[in-house]
Amino acid sequence: MKRLGVNIDHVATIRNARGEFHPDPIFAAQFVKKSGADSVTIHLREDRRHIKDIDAKKICSLKGLLVNLEVSTNPSMIKNALQIRPNFICIVPEKRKEITTEGGLDLKKNIFKLKKIITKIRKKKIRTSLFINPSISNIKISKSLKADCIEIHTGNFANLVKTKKDYSKEFKKIKDCSILAHNLGIEVHVGHGLDFKATKILMKIKQIQEFNIGHFIIGESIFYGITKVIRNFKKIIRS
């Protein structure tokens, strides 16, 4: 079954703007599930700009909720993630000054570090996901690293769709990577910058198992309500 993962980081961003308790990301996690989300994604950033440790702990302890926790390769973040025990740990690159995750991991440069991290995660029986740019060599390295899943960074593709530019090359890259990963037994996730249109186009790639979407869902919810937005995505994301 294909899954819609809803990234609720921005609920915490809004809460933090007031430094108080509302809106509550834990309530948001429960609410998006009730509205039809198949999983929830949260990014515990090193600077804790949105989701905090206590949010991640509480969200991961909710019964029957599939949680994808994004963290950087920083040893203290990996240690935290292993203690928090989500269903998936998605390793992402992180720069302090970036507004959002700007690209995929540099697998070649970090191969030894990632190998150690993945071994630790596997020992805890948590599924590992690597956030990567769509390239065939990244898929091959992910396989050699024994990653359970990859999440393909769809930012470039989504921007081309939004600006009505030719996205065919970028689409082909994502498709070729998805097919290879799937054939190698790696679960394929996609995420970043996705809206209704970009998601609809990516649905042509049968090998994609999970769509992780945040900014557009939260933004669109201001006008139409989160339940309606999630339902509309679920009409697009069908098995």
The catalytically annotated residue of 70, 94, 170, 210 is 70
Could you give the CA distance from residue 206 to residue 161 in angstroms, rounded to a whole number? 19
Give the ranges where 106-194 is alpha helix by DSSP (H): 111-123, 136-144, 155-162, 168-183
Q: Sign of the CA dihedral 29, 51, 162, 191?
A: negative
Q: Indicate the helix (H) or strand (E) that contains 217.
A: helix 215-224
Dihedrals phi, psi of 132, to nearest 5 degrees: -130, 160
Half-sphere exposure of 153 (CA within 13 A, CB side): 19
Minimum distance from CB of 148 to ligand PXP (Å)? Answer: 15
Minimum distance from CB of 143 to ligand PXP (Å)? Answer: 19
Residue 43 a catalytic site member: yes
Q: Which is nearer to ligand PXP, 1 or 99 (CB)?
A: 99
Q: Is 212 in the site for ligand PXP (CB under 6 A)?
A: yes
Q: Which is nearer to ligand PXP, 180 or 217 (CB)?
A: 217
Distances (CA, A) of 49 to 137, 200, 203: 33, 31, 32
Q: Is 211 in the site for ligand PXP (CB under 6 A)?
A: no
Instruction: Please identify, among the stretches 53-61, 163-171, 199-207, 214-222, the one whose residues bind ligand PXP according to the rule CB under 6 A.
Output: 214-222
Q: Is 221 in the site for ligand PXP (CB under 6 A)?
A: no
What would you measure as the largest C-alpha separation in the chain, in angstroms? 47
Residue 192 a catalytic site member: yes
Q: Which of 38, 55, 70, 220 binds ligand PXP (CB under 6 A)?
A: 70
Q: Sign of the CA dihedral 185, 37, 126, 151?
A: positive
Q: Is 92 in the site for ligand PXP (CB under 6 A)?
A: yes
Q: Is 210 in the site for ligand PXP (CB under 6 A)?
A: no
Binding mask 119-158 for ligand PXP (x = CB under 6 A): ------------x-------------------x-------
Structural contact between residues 161 and 197, judged by C-beta atoms closer than 8 angstroms: yes
Q: How many residues bind ligand PXP (CB under 6 A)?
A: 19
Q: Is 90 in the site for ligand PXP (CB under 6 A)?
A: yes
Q: Which of 42, 157, 161, 133 is nearest to 90 (CA)?
A: 42
Residues tagged active-site: 43, 70, 192
Binding site for ligand PXP (CB under 6 A): 7, 9, 43, 70, 90, 92, 100-101, 131, 151, 191-194, 212-216
